[in-house]
Amino acid sequence: MLALGKLLELTLAGREPAEKTQLTVEGVRMRWMGEGALEVRPPEARDNGMDLLLSAGIHGNETAPIELLDELLHGIARGEIKPRARILFLFGNPEAIRKGERYLDQDVNRLFNGRHELSSGSEALRACELERLATTFFSVPERTRLHYDLHTAIRGSKIEQFALYPYKEGRQHSRRELERLSAAGMEAVLLQSKPSITFTAFTYETLDAEAFTLELGKARPFGQNEQIKLDKLEMRLRQIIEGNEPEGDQLDGMQLFSVAREIIKHSDSFHLHLPADIENFSELSKGYLLAEDLAQTRWIVEEEGARIIFPNPKVKNGLRAGILIVPTTAEQLG
């Protein structure tokens, strides 16, 4: 196998490869773009016009997605997977990956769309570098742009595999992309309704890619991800890479949700009235006192069918401590 196919090994060791560019026997070019970053380019005659960005490890302890990308890259380097798409593989936070931590000082996935410019430190610099790499990759005109940012969650979930679809004013969410996600094993999608500061929000809003944050189960250490079943996702990613996706994908059974409200932590007095082990997509009854903060700020559930995702009272002040979501329909899809 080509040395550049071992991007994860290089990243874990903190090493640069001796050769920055290598060719497979099929003529696929692999080019090291920097720490945790590798571009794969098919031969020109096989290129189908798809630019696919696959990122994982934005949170360093979310290892199942990292292992999946490592497996796909090994397949390309061995010649077992024959790309027709141009691909950028990114391991988002190498230092946190090496330490097995979610992040070191700052959550990298809250530092995009200008936020890194308001901060300092290695993770703000990394967010800036990820934006630069993505911008360069998606700079070629008249090509299809797709970004999957793969994650696992801090906590368990009543819907284990789901996606978050960013928002941009004047742009419709795509039914075709949701059908593709359904085929990849996503059981639900949260259709967001305002701009955000995540990596996929940046590529969707600024670079005009179709972009999704995929949540794939609960975070575990390397080598302990047997319970996370990614067979459908791996198969669909291989099909996208090789340009042989089957026709006839459907939305059957996929649950769609929209954001009702975000719960923002304003101070150290913030208190979230939920069990520490509550799962994502847990239902909340109307009238439930969800959270309290300074100045008698109270969040009371008013919505029918409300559920909570990403509850986390330990976030820094000013950041989201949870999202209240409600069921929605596919009527507004493009």
Q: Is 301 in contact with 272 (CB distance < 8 Å)?
A: no
Q: Is the Cα torsion angle 316, 317, 321, 323 positive or negative in sign?
A: negative
Is 266 annotated as belonging to a binding site?
no
Between CA 286 and CA 305 the distance in angstroms is 8
- The per-residue pLDDT for 169 is 94
Amino acid letter at 68?
A: L
**Residue of 77, 98, 103 whose CA lies nearest to 89:** 77
- Closest CA relative to residue 150, chosen from 215, 59, 236, 73: 215
Report the distance separating Cα 65 and Cα 81, nearest Å.
Answer: 18
Report all structural domains of the chain as residue ranges with CATH numbers, in order of start.
3-242 (3.40.630.10), 260-327 (2.40.50.630)
Beta bridge partners of 3: none
Q: Where are the beta strands (DSSP E) in the chain?
A: 21-23, 29-34, 37-41, 50-56, 86-91, 144-153, 162-165, 188-191, 210-218, 255-264, 271-272, 282-283, 289-293, 297-300, 307-309, 320-327
Fill in the amino acid letter for 295: A
Directed axis angle between helix 175-183 and helix 231-242, to 10°? 120
How high is the pLDDT of residue 32?
Answer: 97
Neighbours of 17 (CB within 10 A): 17
- Give the per-residue pLDDT at 249: 84
In tens digits, the chain (334 residues) has pLDDT values of 788 999 999 999 999 999 999 999 889 999 999 999 999 999 999 999 999 999 999 999 999 999 999 999 999 999 999 999 999 999 999 999 999 999 999 999 999 998 898 888 999 999 999 999 999 999 999 999 999 999 998 888 999 999 999 999 999 999 999 999 999 999 999 999 999 999 999 999 999 999 999 999 887 777 766 667 899 999 999 999 999 999 888 888 899 999 999 999 999 999 999 999 999 999 999 999 999 998 889 999 999 999 999 999 999 899 899 999 999 988 778 6
**pLDDT score for 220:** 77
Q: Is 44 part of the annotated catalytic residue set?
A: no
- DSSP label at 318? T
Set 215, 234, 279, 331: catalytic member: 215
Classify each residue of 190-219 as buried b or exposed e, where b means 16 or more C-beta atoms within 10 Å of its C-beta: bbbeeebbbbbbbbbbbbebbbbbbbbbbb
Q: Annotation-wise, does 151 bind a ligand?
A: yes
Q: What is the pTM of this model?
A: 0.93
* Token code pair at residue 219: 């975070």
Burial (CB count <10 Å: 0-12, 13-18, 19+), residue 265: buried
pLDDT of residue 330: 81
**Inter-residue contact 11 to 96 (CB < 8 Å):** no
